[in-house]
Amino acid sequence: MKKLLTAVVGSMALASAPMAMSAEANKELKMAYDSDPVTLDIHEQLSGGIMQLSHMTFDPLLRWTKDLGFEPRLAESWERIDDKTMRFKLREGVKFHSGNELTTADVKFTFDRLKQSQDYKAIFKPFSSINIIDDYTFELVTSEPYPLLLNTATYIFPMDSEFYSGKTEDGKDKSAIVKHGNSYASEHLSGTGPYVVTERQQGVRVEFERFDDYWDTESPGNVGKVVLTPIKENNTRVSALLSGGVDFIAPVPPTDLKRIKRDDDSNLVTMSGTRIILFHMNQDRVEAFKNPKVRQAITYAINQEGIAAKIMKGFATPAAQMSPAGYQGHNDALQTRFDVAKAQQLMKEAGYEDGFTITMMAPNNRYVNDDKIAQAVAAMLARINIKVDLKTLPKAQYWPEYDNRAADMMMIGWHADTEDSANFYEFLTFCPDEDTGAGQYNAGQYCNPEIDALVEKANVETDLDKRAAMLKEVEQRLYDDAAFVPLHWQDLAWASKKGVHIEPILNVMNFPYLGDLVVE
């Protein structure tokens, strides 16, 4: 009888769903991520967790669509005034959680704060100023023509200037960004976003409730309450979904993909990601790596397809370059080049037929299956007589070693904060320069000023087609030169209970637009 009753209620809810669109947000969503946001101050750290929080509690000026285009949010429209200036029109009548109304003063406050933030100031360096025209019009000005102006504007989540200004009771500045230790902004939040933080116990749970005065009344989202529990252990997170303890989990570990697919009550969504996993070959440490033939031999010896299929269980897209599909620099012509005979041939030509011994380091808890990937690469290199002395470390110990360039080959995974190809080159293949910070993570010490110059040129080219051509050429030249060993782009996976429609709100940047989530 009870079952029958729920069935009836269920079908009634289903029937009334289309009418209830956006009208009533009364569903509850329990979700589990692998971590919870470290702070409520969205400018304290630039990380995946904070971006996810930002999209739940704030709104950006504009945001990425699924196919990496832009969609207006708090900025209604924008137009280019000249090659250094973009004029934005702000949406009117938008309210913050505190009740204050959004104006350009808040945008200016946010812009200035971003320039102060240790994690964001590098991204906002190309911006020279913000001009306030009136309450709902402003201009962003860059010092040079800057093609990534809109990409960067997706990081501007206007903060409530009135709420974050002034002094706390014990005399601290409310707008201060404090990296360690608590601040007003790390414990209080007022944004324009779909959810208000109602309760937060760090590391245990965060509760959100839908913001009654949310400006986006068109949003189909019908979730009234979100409970976020961080579950670090992969197995436990999957169990929580399968046992019905939570409705939505991310990330899904590759080993459990099948288990979730098999489960009739669950839904699995996977996407090719944008984080490239690669190895650097350190030319300062190994003389042989200075020879392009040796570097090419190594790229020919590595079976990316095999790693993606066997170790990653199909949960990765094999890569021959850094830019994933959809990025301006992505060059379709570049294919993985696994060919052991060719690799041996190149080693012979380079005069290293008998091979040599190198050291290799990789983290063992940073990327999906990182240590196993490193072991596989080491085994593959043995076939061209390169003997590898491999050491894998937990990430906390790995990065200091990385900064010291402590091994001949080192693994790194990189996601471009700007969602643009140039970011990869600037950090991973630019000639290392301590003063400018270029090539900060270039553990290969690869240096080709011509390529760097080409990237710099692309960075001031606002004609996007021309720019794309330049970046594609950069990929091609890095490929020909075998500047690094690309492995794959790590895939992304989310899973939910049936009836929780996560597919439309997910994206490759991995910040689900939970405000628009529809739950049956």
Partner 1 sequence: MLAFLVQRIAQALLVMFVISVIAFAIQDGLGDPLQEMVGMSVSDEEREAIREELGLNDPFLVQYLRFAGNALQGDLGSSYFYGEPTLDVILEHLPATLELVIGASLIIVVFSVPIGVYAAIRPQAWLSKFFMGVSTVGISIPVFLTAIVLIQLFSIGVVVDWFPADTGWGQWLNEALSTEGGLPSYGRGDELTHLFGTWESGFFSSGGLAHLILPSVSLASIMLPLFIRLIRAEMMEVLQSDYIRYARAKGLSAGRINFLHALKNTMLPVITVGGVQIGIMVAYTILTETVFQWPGVGLMFLEAITRSDIPLIVAYLMVVGLIFVITNTVVDLVYGLVNPTVKLTGKKA
Helices of type H across 143-211? 149-153, 184-187
How many residues are recorded in the chain? Answer: 520
Pairing of strands 316-318, 485-497: antiparallel
The DSSP bridge partners found for residue 28 are 225
Residue 134's nearest CA partner among 94, 88, 171 is 88
Instruction: Please tell me the distance from the alpha carbon of residue 182 to that of residue 199, in angstroms, as a whole number.
Output: 17
Residue 392's nearest CA partner among 367, 368, 364, 373 is 364
CB closer to partner 1, 48 vs 145: 48
Of the ranges 63-71, 162-170, 172-180, 209-217, which one interacts with partner 1 (CB under 8 A)?
A: 172-180
Interface residue with partner 1 among 53, 61, 123, 311 (CB under 8 A) is 123
Pairing of strands 127-134, 137-142: antiparallel
Least distance from partner 1 to the Cβ atom of residue 261, Å: 15
CB closer to partner 1, 286 vs 412: 412
Residue with tokens 């002395």: 389
182 binds partner 1 (CB under 8 A): yes
CB closer to partner 1, 109 vs 427: 427
Residue 190's nearest CA partner among 161, 231, 222, 210 is 161
Least distance from partner 1 to the Cβ atom of residue 171, Å: 18
Of the ranges 126-134, 302-310, 334-342, 388-396, which one interacts with partner 1 (CB under 8 A)?
A: 388-396
Interface residue with partner 1 among 338, 441, 489, 513 (CB under 8 A) is 441
CA angle (149 as vertex; 143, 150 as ends), nearest 5: 165
Subset of residues 232 to 251 that bind partner 1, contact rule: CB under 8 A = 232-233, 235-236, 239-240, 242-245
Residue 161 near residue 107, CB atoms below 8 Å: no
Least distance from partner 1 to the Cβ atom of residue 181, Å: 5
**Which H or E element spans position 424?**
helix 421-428
Least distance from partner 1 to the Cβ atom of residue 369, Å: 17
The CA-to-CA distance between both ends of the chain, in Å, stands at 22
CB closer to partner 1, 26 vs 236: 236
CB closer to partner 1, 180 vs 450: 180
Of the ranges 166-174, 199-207, 312-320, 496-504, which one interacts with partner 1 (CB under 8 A)?
A: 199-207
Read off the DSSP letter of residue 309: I
The DSSP bridge partners found for residue 127 are 142
The DSSP bridge partners found for residue 136 are none
Least distance from partner 1 to the Cβ atom of residue 520, Å: 22
Non-local (6+) Cβ contacts of 117 within 8 A are: 43, 44, 177
Instruction: Please tell me the distance from the alpha carbon of residue 292 to that of residue 364, in angstroms, as a whole number.
Output: 29
143 binds partner 1 (CB under 8 A): no
Least distance from partner 1 to the Cβ atom of residue 103, Å: 29
Least distance from partner 1 to the Cβ atom of residue 442, Å: 13
Interface residue with partner 1 among 5, 181, 354, 449 (CB under 8 A) is 181
* Tokens coding 66: 């699924």
Subset of residues 12 to 51 that bind partner 1, contact rule: CB under 8 A = 32, 38-39, 45-47
Distances (CA, A) of 156 to 106, 159, 214: 11, 9, 18
397 binds partner 1 (CB under 8 A): yes
CB closer to partner 1, 254 vs 318: 254
Number of other CB atoms surrounding residue 57 within 10 Å = 24
Subset of residues 343 to 372 that bind partner 1, contact rule: CB under 8 A = 365
Mask of contacts with partner 1, 399-438, x by CB under 8 A? xx--x----------x--x---------x------x--x-
Of the ranges 16-24, 92-100, 197-205, 456-464, which one interacts with partner 1 (CB under 8 A)?
A: 197-205
Interface residue with partner 1 among 13, 20, 81, 204 (CB under 8 A) is 204
Interface residue with partner 1 among 205, 337, 348, 391 (CB under 8 A) is 205
Three-state SS annotation for 365-376? CCCCCHHHHHHH
Instruction: Please tell me the distance from the alpha carbon of residue 275 to that of residue 281, in angstroms, as a whole number.
Output: 19
Pairing of strands 518-519, 500-501: antiparallel
Mask of contacts with partner 1, 55-74, x by CB under 8 A? --------------------
Instruction: Please tell me the distance from the alpha carbon of residue 88 to that of residue 70, in angstroms, as a whole number.
Output: 14
CB closer to partner 1, 165 vs 182: 182
The alpha carbon torsion through 15, 18, 20, 22 (nearest 10 deg) reads 150
CB closer to partner 1, 84 vs 113: 113
Interface residue with partner 1 among 105, 178, 309, 460 (CB under 8 A) is 178
Query: Could you tell me how many residues of this chain bind partner 1 (CB under 8 A)?
Result: 52
CB closer to partner 1, 51 vs 334: 51
Residue 287's nearest CA partner among 412, 191, 408 is 408
Least distance from partner 1 to the Cβ atom of residue 329, Å: 18
* Tokens coding 70: 């832009």
Residues engaged in binding partner 1 (CB under 8 A): 32, 38-39, 45-47, 118-119, 121-123, 178-182, 186, 201-205, 227, 229-233, 235-236, 239-240, 242-245, 365, 394-400, 403, 414, 417, 427, 434, 437, 440-441
